[in-house]
Structure 1
Amino acid sequence: MSAARAPAEWMEETMVEAKKLKFGVDLVTFFHPGFWGVDSYDAIIAHAKAEPRAFWDKILDAIEASGVTGVEPTFSPFNWRDAVKTYGSVEAFAAELSKRGLSLASGFFAELEHGASIADPAVQARILASAGDYAAFIKACGGEAMVIGMPMRQTPGAEPVEFVDLAAAQPIADFLNRLGALTAKHGVKLALHTEAHSMFCSSRDVDLFLLLTDPAYVHFCPDTAHLIVAGADPLKVIERHRERMVIAHWKDAIGPMPVDTPIDEKIHERHRPYFCGFGIGRVDWHAFVKLLRDTQYEGWAILELDAAPDPIADIAAGLKFINTALAPTYI
């Protein structure tokens, strides 16, 4: 920094640089009973069904109040179909975003994570149809990417053993190529999310599936916390595949989970104690944003705080951390 530049001038220029990134939030952030004044996750779902307009208005108002400008829908009751049904049309939902100064950043597609094998042609047809509808919605609302969760792994030691090897990965990669080609027709990029305990969470998993998929159609959404929970170094993984990154989930974590963690319908709840506030976990945020700067990345940064009890304050605190502790790194 030149001695001739006043601190205020330097900070102003730094903040301009930081604004190359657009900050949004994944709606899983609002999946905490405390935010809704209820005592269970089932009660949140019941409230969403009973009073959908109040439910969605509260979410969108909270996002506006937090300071971020982007929205990433996810699973029901936070998914895009729920939003469209609530407001009456895609255009009406887009208008609700716009009047709050918000826009659709992306959409999370969770239909590969659990359920029937995607080797089944009927399952493939259903997923392709659903993804096509979702991509059309994302594009209509000004979004850029469909973030997709990969099939979950088997609990280590379970029988019969299901190996995630080349033979298992190849047909999934082929389907991902087809899925990416479909979303591309709508002007939406398919981005693989590094979900812990999925087939796409360790360093080797990311290398394998990005090798087997076509970079013209299949892109990359690193999630810093999920990579740590899976035992990977997010900086090393992102460095190897930074040219494939079109969106990123920003989240911190305290460390890896035990290797024998059961992988079942409760796995996402088991993840939550390992996630933490920005700057108090193991993510080297300065190195991370330096990598983004050197890559000239200017896309969406999705601040994801799984089931935060006070999401407005937590998101605002994350933005403050970014715009104070991290902003100088953008220069």
Structure 2
Amino acid sequence: MRHVDVARTPAMQEDAAMRIGHHTITWGGVVGHPAGVTSIKDLHYLSYGSVIEAVREIGAVGYEGTEVFDGNLAALAHTPELLLDALAEAQVELVSVYAGANFVYADVLPDEMARLRRACELAQRFGASRLVVGGGARRVSGTTEADYDRLGAALDAVDDLAADHGLEASYHPHLSTIVESPSELEALMGRTRIGFCPDTAHLAAGGGDPAALVRRYPDRLKHVHLKDIDLGTGTFLPLGQGDLNLADVLAAVVEAGYDSWLVVELDSTEGSPQEAAAASLAHLRELLGQLPARPAA
């Protein structure tokens, strides 16, 4: 169970690069740094629990990779060995770093971009290869077409910033932003070249079919977040415990030619984060093993 290589199951011989990671968010949930209330440049996402404990338990379950928030890396900037040693001991790769911003307010955008530059610097320092961003604020007065223009232009700048630091960037549609529904995603995607990171539960909660949206943007697929959801209550759940057709999502991912990281990202759980992670991994392995092998080239 130590090395997770779903490609080695009989039905997946052609998917040699498909690997599985888990976000540290489940260990403590997500908060924002309070300094950000009065200083936009300091408004990081943070996982409130110990990322060191999370990495150890993620590795013990059998995951190969992990994703962390920019704020957790910022908190470890002066003691990077704490996380780097934990990653090495757990045999877990830091795959990606998650950050976000409002993006639609011209006056604060330079401070937001400075913070995202710092996130890229930290991601590079800690060995990540990907930057995932969410955002696009909903105004009290309502969203305008110009907001999508601003968001698209800002995300292009993020894409450039990430590339400057050797990272691949992708955008994560998210509840509470101006990119929740399929029509809102459509409004954005033609305005930016940044990659697409589908989150199965957020897309479904926004009224979309996650598999259909992956098939709608196959050439933009650069990263994948997987979680399940009870659509009646809106509760996020471990894989296989909710209402989503994850088998179809994975089929769509394979059809798109994507053969890289699948990251489980469960915001919280009522029980043990490690047990929830184990349940998701078992279900994901089962689904991947049922996929037909790709035809030989």
What is the TM-score with the length of structure 2 in the denominator? 0.82
- 1:60-99 aligned within 5 A: 60-74=55-69, 76=71, 79-85=72-78, 88-89=79-80, 93-99=83-89
| Offset of residue 222 of structure 1 | 0.5
Deviation digits for residues 175-200 of structure 1 (CA, Å, limit 9, x no counterpart): 22112111111111221101112111
Q: Highest CA radius of gyration, 1 or 2?
A: 1
| Offset of residue 168 of structure 1 | 2.0
Aligned partners of 1:111 and 1:149 also within 8 Å? yes
Which residue matches 2:266? 305
Matches of 1:178 and 1:32 in 2, distance apart? 29
- Greater helix fraction, Structure 1 or Structure 2: 1
Which residue matches 1:14? 11
Matches of 1:112 and 1:80 in 2, distance apart? 20
Structure 1: stretches of 5+ with no match in the other structure: 1-10, 34-40, 43-53, 155-159, 258-272
| Offset of residue 312 of structure 1 | 0.9
Work out whether 1:240 is the aligned partner of 2:237: no
| Offset of residue 228 of structure 1 | 0.9
Counterpart amino acid of 2:106? Answer: A
| Offset of residue 314 of structure 1 | 0.9
Decide whether aligned partners of structure 1 residues 210 and 32 sit closer, same or farther in structure 2, where only a CA change above 3 A counts: closer
Counterpart amino acid of 2:185? Answer: V
Which residue matches 2:114? 129
Work out whether 1:321 is the aligned partner of 2:297: no
- Length, aligned pairs only: 270
Decide whether aligned partners of structure 1 residues 256 and 139 sit closer, same or farther in structure 2, where only a CA change above 3 A counts: farther
Which residue matches 1:29? 26
- Greater strand fraction, Structure 1 or Structure 2: 2
Matches of 1:300 and 1:170 in 2, distance apart? 30
Counterpart amino acid of 1:298? Answer: D
Deviation digits for residues 9-58 of structure 1 (CA, Å, limit 9, x no counterpart): xx84235556632211122111269xxxxxxx99xxxxxxxxxxx93432
| Offset of residue 146 of structure 1 | 1.0
| Offset of residue 237 of structure 1 | 1.4
Which residue matches 1:224? 200
SS at match of 1:313: helix
Aligned partners of 2:197 and 2:222 also within 8 Å? yes
Work out whether 1:119 is the aligned partner of 2:106: yes
User: Which stretch of structure 1 is more off in the superposition, 226-235 or 131-140?
Assistant: 131-140
Matches of 1:212 and 1:277 in 2, distance apart? 33
What is the TM-score with the length of structure 1 in the denominator? 0.74
Structure 2: stretches of 5+ with no match in the other structure: 1-7, 33-48
Decide whether aligned partners of structure 1 residues 75 and 330 sit closer, same or farther in structure 2, where only a CA change above 3 A counts: farther
Which residue matches 1:294? 255
Deviation digits for residues 209-265 of structure 1 (CA, Å, limit 9, x no counterpart): 11001x2xx1111000001111111112111112111101001112277xxxxxxxx
Deviation digits for residues 155-186 of structure 1 (CA, Å, limit 9, x no counterpart): xxxxx6312x3222112211221121111111
